[in-house]
Amino acid sequence: DEYMRRWIELMPKFSFNVSYSCGPLQGVAPLLLKRGDQAAELVGSTLKLMEKDVDLFQVLGATGGESASLSLAAERVGQQILRTHGLVLEGAFYRDEAQLKSEKRATLRVDDTAQCVLALSRVLALLDDLVGVDVGDGARGGEASSGEVDGALVGGEL
């Protein structure tokens, strides 16, 4: 639980609402499989972070098409690059501007995508594990309400 405690302390110090968080999510998702006291809250925040990374940093719509709309990451890549390499870039992840600036680059790298794919696979493994959780009888006389696991909301609106 030491790692969970440290994550809870560190998380507010990061600007995760606008920054690429796939790197840290690679380690946090497996920690949540331990189901500590704060697991329900942390599972929810982890799912939100992963969804945010897909929404903000995945290059989508790069292949064009009549009804294709570009993701924010595809817009940041730019039309010229998308016209030339759109098919190859579709589905890739592009880090946030602050990270790119700190690394003195403006390019997409395979490790940007690899980190998010690994984080996604670990978050999916966490979700798969949550589906397998047995709901105990508890104080409700044996019937848990739909969408609840040990009193924590699973699925639905985060």
The winner for highest mean pLDDT among 5-14, 63-72, 133-142 is 5-14
Please compute Rg for the chain using Cα positions.
Answer: 18
Indicate if the pLDDT at residue 35 is higher than 50.
yes
Residue 67 or 120, more confident = 120
Percent of the chain with pLDDT over 70: 75
Alpha helix positions (H), 17-143? 22-32, 39-57, 72-77, 79-89, 97-102, 110-131
**Single pTM value for the model:** 0.74
24-29: long-range pairs with CB below 8 Å, 24+: 25/49, 25/50, 25/53, 25/119, 25/122, 25/123, 26/115, 26/118, 26/119, 26/122, 29/119, 29/122, 29/123, 29/125, 29/126
Tell me the per-residue pLDDT of 70-126, one tens digit each, with 9 for 90 and over. Answer: 888 999 998 899 889 988 999 999 999 999 999 999 899 999 999 999 999 999 998
Indicate the pLDDT class of residue 151, thresholds 50, 70 and 90.
Answer: very low
Indicate if the pLDDT at residue 155 is higher than 60.
no
Indicate if the pLDDT at residue 44 is higher than 80.
yes
Find out whether 73 and 100 touch, Cβ atoms under 8 Å.
no
Question: How high is the pLDDT of residue 141?
Answer: 46
HSE value, Cβ hemisphere, 13 Å, CA-based, for 45: 16
Query: What CA–CA distance (Å, rounded) separates 134 from 110?
Result: 39
Tokens of 85: 């390499």
Question: In what helix (H) or strand (E) does residue 4 lie, and over which residues does it extend?
Answer: helix 2-10
